[in-house]
Amino acid sequence: MANTVEKRRSFRIMRFTDNGKNENTPPNTQHRNSIYRKSQETDGGILHMIPDLDIPQMNFTDEYNIERTIAEGCFAKILLATHRPTNCSVVLKAVHAELTGLKDFIKEFHYSYQLSHHPNILSAYNVAFQANDYYVFAQEYAPYGDLASNLGPNGLHETACKLIAEQLSSALGFMHSKSLVHRDLKLENVLVFSPDFSRVKLCDFGATTRKGTLVGKVKHTWVSFVPPEVLESVKNERFICKTSSDSWQFGILLYSILTGSPPWQSADWVKDANYAAFMKYQKKKTTKIPDNFRKFSSRLIRCFRKYLDHSEENRAKVTEITKYLKDRWVDSKMSGSKSATLLAHAPDNDQDSICVYINQRESRYSLDESKTRLQRIMSSYGLETTIDQAAVKKRIWDWLSSCDDSYEDVEVF
Ligand SMILES: Nc1ncnc2c1ncn2[C@@H]1O[C@H](COP(=O)(O)OP(=O)(O)OP(=O)(O)O)[C@@H](O)[C@H]1O
């Protein structure tokens, strides 16, 4: 009995006793290396063997100080906590035991832990336990939240989008190489580790499934991210899980970060005019580029046509984006001054962070270009457009002296 308790305890806190104090240290890497040597030979190997874990019981307060709730949904609470014995900040994902079976919890924990040595996949620690009505596992903390909370109304700068796309395609490509499909790619499931987006990580492996398995629809996800073949499936109908569903969601996510919103409400060509227009163009039934894609370069439109192909078998692999990273994505003439870029994003005493957006440089260039064009037209009609700064200054002085005797106190630049 004492032995079992000891074994359970070491499982529960292995991450902290083995690896010291830095929460970013990959947990138990030695164990994982041996797993992954095997899995490469066998298309997933042990990765697909979901273990029968014995989850120990404990109270949160036995080892953790709960600092705050980061997010709370129908199925889980995301808590920021300090692990007292090591003074490490960790995130505890606490899943309602009544709503999620033990088997499903272990599956999510297993995939989260086994995949987490990829640099763009959130690290889960080798810590799982049951506390009251929750099954809980521990993860590293993402200080800048998720992509949804970082997105301005007009999206992110092209450079940031390229960084995000490259990292996500690497994470998803890695999962696909292990025959796993994420199935719930959305802005909320991409966590941000640096304000310039040079470090983002994929999270939430609750819906992750082995390719080729029969599955039902993912519950509680955005309809705009649901691929057409899933949308078309009848209620409770089961269908084969394919990597092409991640490709679709990757395309929708890419569009969303570039513009601030998804391209359509649902991939239903009967009910959604935006999707109908895109599908017509995608199937080459018209050469008219749909209005909401016109701001993109022809190369990026080509890329979108491949990711957002209505037929799942024709869809591009997630990693194909690497072919487009050197291209220009947004046509600056079409984009106007709408795009914004994240300039600074500072965590403030563990409170919700503040994002500062400024107009992107391109938009300022295009403003200058328009001014020059206007000046050229005006001077072609003999109108003077150059401004004599000295004359302006003199006019202001004259005006000030005419209306107030105390003008000497006023500085004019
Ligand atoms: N490690 C973390 N660090 C910081 N924030 C996190 C972390 N994990 C999750 N979050 C935040 O909590 C939210 C919900 O997390 P997660 O997707 O894992 O929970 P969920 O219950 O499976 O959500 P859903 O079912 O809605 O997809 C994320 O969108 C993110 O904003």
Q: Which atom of ligand 1 is nearest to the CA of 204?
A: 18
Find the helix or strand (DSSP H, E) in which 256 lies: helix 244-259
How do residues 124-149 score in pLDDT, each as one tens digit?
Answer: 999 999 999 999 999 999 999 999 99
Instruction: DSSP letter for 330, please.
Output: B
Domain with CATH 1.10.510.10 in the chain: 147-330
Structure tokens at 66: 């709960």
- How far apart CA 60 and CA 56 sit, in angstroms, is 12
DSSP state of 271: T
Among 346, 279, 352, which Cα is nearest to 309's? Answer: 279
Angle CA(324)–CA(242)–CA(74) in degrees, nearest 5? 100
Class in CATH terms, 13-32+43-139: alpha beta
- Who contacts 171 (Cβ-Cβ below 8 Å, separation ≥6)? 118, 120, 121, 201, 202
The pLDDT score that the predictor gives to residue 3 is 39
Q: What is the pLDDT at residue 354?
A: 28
CB 255 within 8 A of CB 263: yes
Q: How much distance in Å is there from the Cα of 267 to the middle of ligand 1? A: 25
Q: Assess whether the C-beta atom of 219 lies below 6 angstroms from ligand 1.
A: no
Query: Can you give the pLDDT at residue 74?
Result: 82
Homologous superfamily of the 147-330 domain (CATH): Transferase(Phosphotransferase) domain 1 (1.10.510.10)
What is the CA angle 186-192-195, rounded to 5? 135
Q: Which residues make up the CATH 3.30.200.20 domain(s) of the chain?
A: 13-32+43-139
Complex ipTM > 0.90 = yes
Q: Which residues of the chain have pLDDT under 70?
A: 1-44, 333-413
- Of 203, 217, 350, the one to substitute when testing ligand 1's pocket (max ligand atoms within 8 A of C-beta) is 203
User: CA-CA distance, 154 to 161, in Å (whole number)?
Assistant: 12
Task: State the angle between helix axes of 298-307 and 244-259 in degrees (0 to 180), rounded to the nearest 10.
Answer: 140
The catalytic residue positions are 184
pLDDT of residue 333: 65
Ligand 1 in contact with 189 (CB < 6 A)?
A: yes
Residues 6+ apart with CB under 8 A from 65: 81, 82, 84
- Indicate the top mutation candidate among 188, 190, 200, 353 to test ligand 1's pocket, ranked by most ligand atoms within 8 A of CB: 188
Q: How close is the Cα of 91 to the center of ligand 1, in Å?
A: 10
For residue 139, give the ligand 1 atom closest to its CA: 1
Question: In which region does residue 44 sit, left (phi positive, over 0), alpha (psi from -120 to 50) or beta (all else)?
Answer: left
Distance CA(325)–CA(199), nearest Å, equals 17
pLDDT in tens, 216-259: 999 888 999 999 999 999 888 999 999 999 999 999 999 999 99
The reported pTM is 0.75
Burial of 122 (0-12, 13-18, 19+ CB in 10 A): buried
**Maximum alpha-carbon separation in the chain:** 97
Does the beta carbon of 112 sit less than 6 angstroms from any atom of ligand 1?
no
- Whole-number Å distance, alpha carbon 328 to ligand 1 midpoint, is 32
State how far the alpha carbon of 206 is from the alpha carbons of 110, 125, 148, 334, 392, in Å: 10, 16, 19, 39, 65
Q: Is residue 218 in contact with ligand 1, taking CB distance under 6 Å?
A: no
